[in-house]
A and B are shown apart, each in its own frame.
Chain A
Amino acid sequence: MDKVHAVELKGVTKSFGSNMANKNIDLFVDKGEIMALLGENGSGKTTLMNILAGIYLPDEGRVFVDGKEVTIRSPKDAFDNRIGMIHQHFKLVDVFTAAENVVLGLEGTGRLDLKAASSKVREISRKYGFDIDPDKKVYEMSVSEKQTVEIIKVLYRGADILILDEPTAVLTPQEIEKLFAVMRAMRRDGKSIIIITHKLNEVMAVSDVVAVLRKGEHIGTVRTSETSPQALTEMMVGRKVELNIGRKDPVDPKPRLTIAGLTVRDSEGVKKLDDVGFIAFGGEILGIAGIAGSGQKELLEAVAGLRKIESGSIIYTPEGKAPAELVGKTPMEIKDAGVALAFVPEDRLGMGLVGGMGMTGNMLLRSWHKGKGIFVDRKAPEKLAADVMERLEVVTPGIYYPVRKLSGGNVQKVLVGREIASSPSVLMSAYAVRGLDINTSYTIYNLMCQQKEKGVAVIFVGEDLDVLLELCDRILVLCGGKVSGVVDARNVTKEQLGLLMTSVGGKEEN
């Protein structure tokens, strides 16, 4: 007799217009098992999981829970079948407290007993070791706290099948470890978990089985213990791929940005950057490492002119021109001078993209002011869009297709591609590969290297230390808004970096 699976999909197909997101997919997960769902950006992972969660109705196919066929027409049906999903973009009401968000949509009438809800939230938190204040408003929370609320929401309802769509993309390594511990605890309780992630080391660390999707089709499911990152990548992409970064030695580096004594406060008056000074050279990739929130974002924004600078100077020396002070210039002037910023914010819905417009329109946003006359020039952005689409393999029906409808990772490709394509002389990027599949991530790394070889000063804020060590020439480590050290990426270990990240100058604290 067949073993009864916790959840099983048979022949599931879903298309949006002419865009087939899922093609005839068969997939199952067993009880007490963690499955990783892997696939390139736009391969249909979110769509497939949304079908289980009742957000999308499949065009064809059947769903079985505990061996019984079910129809899931709405999120409520999904709950009734004890399926809970944590979405790629958080589904929380910002002005509500954690407890209010948790009780949302639960059965029951009349008076709202938030006290009871709060204490239940505390109880769950204790059981799984979360640290959350049930009465805190969501808009005051950090991303990881929001993530925790989402998980509690699902646990509160007593889901047996938990789906996590890229939960780790915005978490710090410590937070990821905690999440994995929670997942393992849930597995012990006999729950089934499906996790989507683009980070193969996480797949290897936490999953029991891996299912791979490619262009909407289920390519296969393998046991994690019997596979390797390389093999998984090839399943995903469908051909042999080389995952390495061609880092060349910098040729004739010249100072491009000379920053001294930079101090920046946030709106509450807290010092976010404290006397930061360094030089970024043209023809070099300068990595910026640090624990999340150590001032990386503020540094890039200060250089781009988006933040008020309390003191300090930023001297910009373009190729063959006289040095100029950037402090006091408007963001537009700084951009025009050739300092580009590609920033992928934590909420991930790309900063500076208009969701309703296609790729072309979004390219235009970056260049409209360069045009002459009263009519906009549509040819150039069109070409640019086509170029970005091809080089970064953006999965979209066309360059006029609304960006909002693209898959999470593809939205980011458009953002990053646009900044790189503006041929800057300083290229700053923060978390450029957040949520991008492994293949595209390497495409981006190599694009950065190309820029560097062209003599661009590249500043790369990243989270993955392995990547920083492999990609950058020098690494600047920030710790609590101060420069903790600048090291040669070729002669430093991860441990040394870690030490610099946690204490200024890398000295042990006592």
Chain B
Amino acid sequence: MGALDFIVALIRAAVFNGTPLMYGTSGEILTEKAGNLNLGVEGLMFMGGAFGLLGAFTYGNAMGDSANGVVAVIIALVCAFAAGCFGSLIYAFLTITLRANQNVTGLALTIMGTGVGQFVGEMMRLKVGGNVAISNALKLAFANSPFPQALQNIPVVGPLIFGYNVFVYLGIIMIIVMHHFLAKTRKGLYLRAVGESPSTADSAGINVTRYRYFATVIGGGISAIGGMVYTMTISGTVWNHTGLSGEGWVAVALVIFCLWKPINSLWGSVLFGALLILYIRLPIAFIPTQIYKVVPYIVTALVLIMVSIRQRREDQPPAALGTAFFREDR
């Protein structure tokens, strides 16, 4: 294998493994931009993974041979998104309406979400008596590139640009849309204002509660899609809780690494995807894999240090992150 092939393979693997993070992170960025620190991403991704699989699996079973791959993908997306929205809606109700502590509530959501995810995943396994698997035709819809074979066959460019599964492209589009929304639209500006200073936003007539609910629920839904993408691509449409565990925490770290800018998660998730698989691709005999696994967190810590040395205001977290808002408070 030539050096070029090795690099192409490495990049492809990085993108492949980074895709769940792309969703997990950008969803959390949206949430945090409005001032809610949702530490429940891990739980949301578990729920997304389990319900996404459940949706596709149920659909495949019901339709048998006439099942359509595109429909299966859409069903998995919708199920995961809905599960994430539901989980974060609970979080939103507790932290926004009841003004519970965000950290505690987020951690509780992680515990609940992983539990629910495990339960649904294991239940499916017991029901079919073994590994949950969907038909090969459907599997391919999750794994294959949406581009024509001719494009994929172009040397180097083909595999690097056109050779990924559909979630990579959907993720890129979603992130660009989110970037545009936050940076260029009125609603995006208001949402950022809510995260920076809710009392300022409120006194300007912005409905803080509504924006926070919106960002938290939609953001949670997007994060959950990341879990589904993991289950349906990386773990090959098989319920695999060991692989999924930890993914959500990496996503939370990546939010910091991306300095709360969705556009950075485009390349940040690829980088973290690479870090996650480095132990397979670049094994060094005497370094245990556990050391590799902490690398993403070390990189995040380094970024934090750099940012605090540079002291650029634009790189700071949303100023009101983690705080509840009540108009008559002061």
Beyond A56-B328, A75-B205, A104-B193, whether A93 also contacts B200 by CB under 8 A is yes
The answer to whether A93 and B203 have CB atoms under 8 Å apart is no
Q: How far is the CA of A79 from the CA of B203 in the complex (A)?
A: 10
The answer to whether A105 and B206 have CB atoms under 8 Å apart is yes
The answer to whether A112 and B328 have CB atoms under 8 Å apart is no
Say yes or no: is A306 at the interface (Cβ < 8 Å to chain B): no
Say yes or no: is B319 at the interface (Cβ < 8 Å to chain A): yes
Max chain A Cβ within 10 angstroms of own Cβ: one of B188, B202, B204: B204
The answer to whether B314 and A95 have CB atoms under 8 Å apart is yes
Count, chain B residues at interface, CB 8 A: 27
A94 proximity list for chain B (CB < 8 A): 196-197, 313, 319
Beyond A55-B203, A55-B327, A75-B204, whether A93 also contacts B185 by CB under 8 A is no
Say yes or no: is B201 at the interface (Cβ < 8 Å to chain A): yes
Q: Interface of chain B, helix or strand or loop or mixed?
A: helix
Beyond A56-B328, A75-B204, A85-B203, whether A93 also contacts B193 by CB under 8 A is yes
Say yes or no: is A404 at the interface (Cβ < 8 Å to chain B): yes
A153 proximity list for chain B (CB < 8 A): 204
Q: Interface of chain A, helix or strand or loop or mixed?
A: loop
| A49-88 residues at the B interface, CB under 8 angstroms | 53, 55-57, 74-76, 79, 85, 87
A184 proximity list for chain B (CB < 8 A): none
Chain B residue with the shortest CB-CB distance to A402? B330
Say yes or no: is B17 at the interface (Cβ < 8 Å to chain A): no
Q: How far is the CA of A111 from the CA of B184 in the complex (A)?
A: 6
Contact of B313 among A16, A95, A100, A103 (CB under 8 A): A95
Say yes or no: is A400 at the interface (Cβ < 8 Å to chain B): no
Contact of B330 among A93, A96, A404 (CB under 8 A): A404
The answer to whether B205 and A111 have CB atoms under 8 Å apart is no
Contact of B205 among A105, A108, A137, A139 (CB under 8 A): A105
Categorize the interface residue count of chain A: 20 to 34
Max chain A Cβ within 10 angstroms of own Cβ: one of B185, B199, B205: B205
Say yes or no: is B99 at the interface (Cβ < 8 Å to chain A): no
The answer to whether B203 and A75 have CB atoms under 8 Å apart is yes
The answer to whether A111 and B328 have CB atoms under 8 Å apart is no
Say yes or no: is A174 at the interface (Cβ < 8 Å to chain B): no
Max chain B Cβ within 10 angstroms of own Cβ: one of A16, A75, A79, A106: A75
Say yes or no: is A405 at the interface (Cβ < 8 Å to chain B): yes
Say yes or no: is A320 at the interface (Cβ < 8 Å to chain B): no
Contact of A112 among B189, B200, B314 (CB under 8 A): B189
Can you show 30 pairs from A to B with CB atoms below 8 A apart?
A53-B203, A55-B202, A55-B328, A56-B327, A57-B328, A75-B203, A76-B207, A91-B200, A92-B197, A92-B200, A93-B196, A93-B197, A93-B200, A94-B197, A94-B313, A95-B196, A95-B314, A95-B316, A95-B319, A103-B186, A104-B189, A104-B193, A104-B206, A105-B206, A110-B186, A112-B185, A137-B313, A153-B204, A404-B330, A405-B330
